[in-house]
Copies of this chain bind each other. A is one copy, B any other.
């Protein structure tokens, strides 16, 4: 990396290092929550430890992104106990602090907002080793401990290095393990910096990645064994705290590719745009662009909404392509509460009035007969190519809008109200995400 990179990264760090006030806020809030928790646990006569976890504990958060992960570590019991009694105790603590809601990951936890800061109150078991974890979150304290140790060993810049990589991943939108992103979690980002020894070193490696990517900060070795154990994953990162788990299991091939492309580009074309997404420019659509939007049915978590949105759009896109729409790009959006949408750009939004139908192999006489029965409005054919019959028939639906309506009507979804579908042709997009979509390249591709 060059001097230009150094200067840019220093100026980025000045914007993303947490402020003194944030550190004070963290301490004050955690103290307050712990006090309440300790009192409730005493009332309940339960021995449990109240601990701070996550980026706030590791001091790797980015300015304006302070969140508190407060884990209440109960003596080991059953998952059932945790879901019922553990959660009840957590709710008691939350009640005394403010308004809360119950969230569901592998098991339920509580989310609060305290003095403008998002706080997750998580019930977990206090196990003696990450490998003993009964629920996934039981490993978290060991993650926290492991990362703190390693970052301390790396020296005083280590947290800045982590913050740069987090900001980079956030900036190019591959940060986060959730379905929406299928990218790099905070923990994985920290592990990358620890493994490669710094931000520049990590970026340089990422730019040269080739899947399956193997990263081994825990120094377990036996790459072949791990690649076999976690085969199918584009990225394999044995969790230093429990090597039976692939810490990078959530990273999709596309996120991996995007991270690699952006790193590669950043090395030759550094720019603050990699870290900070600028406001979208005013644009107008250069080719047919549609917005397909839905209202959401209430009560479904983001994982469900994004999962269904992804499933539906993947199927829709491949159906459109098979029908002859030359789709260039598409993008998903949701506020995770009221609305979801798919934006699609294409070369052509009208299909030809005639369509070639490919019949079964001629040898399948039963299928051949059904084919001729099903396709009885023949404009030309049949003719033979290879060992199949072909014919031309008129096409009923030729417009994009009508075609999409027909396809969507055959789908099913819990969280997305498919009957609410609205299809609009976009000329001059107004919303931010849609303007970036129409813009048609990455903001960081300079």
Residues on the B chain within 8 Å of A368, using CB? 261, 264
Contacting pair A211 B387 (CB below 8 A): yes
Contacting pair B347 A385 (CB below 8 A): no
Contacting pair B363 A326 (CB below 8 A): no
Contacting pair A329 B383 (CB below 8 A): yes
Residues on the B chain within 8 Å of A196, using CB? none
A370 to chain B, nearest CB (A): 14
Total count of chain A residues near the partner, CB < 8 A: 47
Contacting pair A253 B354 (CB below 8 A): no
Q: Which of A58-66, A290-298, A401-409, A437-445 contacts the other chain?
A: A437-445
Given A260-B363, A261-B362, check contact A253 B208 (CB 8 Å): no
Is A136's CB within 8 Å of the partner chain B? no
Given A356-B326, A356-B328, A384-B257, check contact A286 B365 (CB 8 Å): no
**Residue in contact with A347 in the complex, picked from B210, B347, B356, B365, CB distance below 8 Å:** B356
Contacting pair A383 B260 (CB below 8 A): no
Residues on the B chain within 8 Å of A264, using CB? 365, 368
Q: Which of A100-108, A138-146, A215-223, A374-382 contacts the other chain?
A: A374-382
Interface flags, A146-162, vs B, CB<8A=1, else 0:
00000000000000000
A283 to chain B, nearest CB (A): 11
Is A117's CB within 8 Å of the partner chain B? no
**Residue in contact with A253 in the complex, picked from B347, B380, B387, B441, CB distance below 8 Å:** B387
Given A347-B354, A362-B260, A387-B211, check contact A440 B380 (CB 8 Å): yes
Is A12's CB within 8 Å of the partner chain B? no
A residues in contact (CB < 8 Å) with B: 207-211, 253-254, 256-258, 260-261, 264, 286-287, 324, 326, 328-329, 347-348, 352, 354, 356, 361-363, 365, 368, 378-390, 392, 440-442, 445
In addition to A329-B390, A347-B354, 17 A-B residue pairs with Cβ atoms within 8 Å of each other are A207-B365, A208-B365, A211-B363, A254-B384, A254-B387, A258-B384, A260-B362, A287-B354, A287-B392, A324-B326, A326-B352, A328-B380, A329-B383, A347-B356, A380-B440, A382-B442, A392-B440
Closest 7 CB pairs of A and B: A380-B440, A210-B363, A257-B387, A257-B362, A347-B352, A258-B384, A253-B387
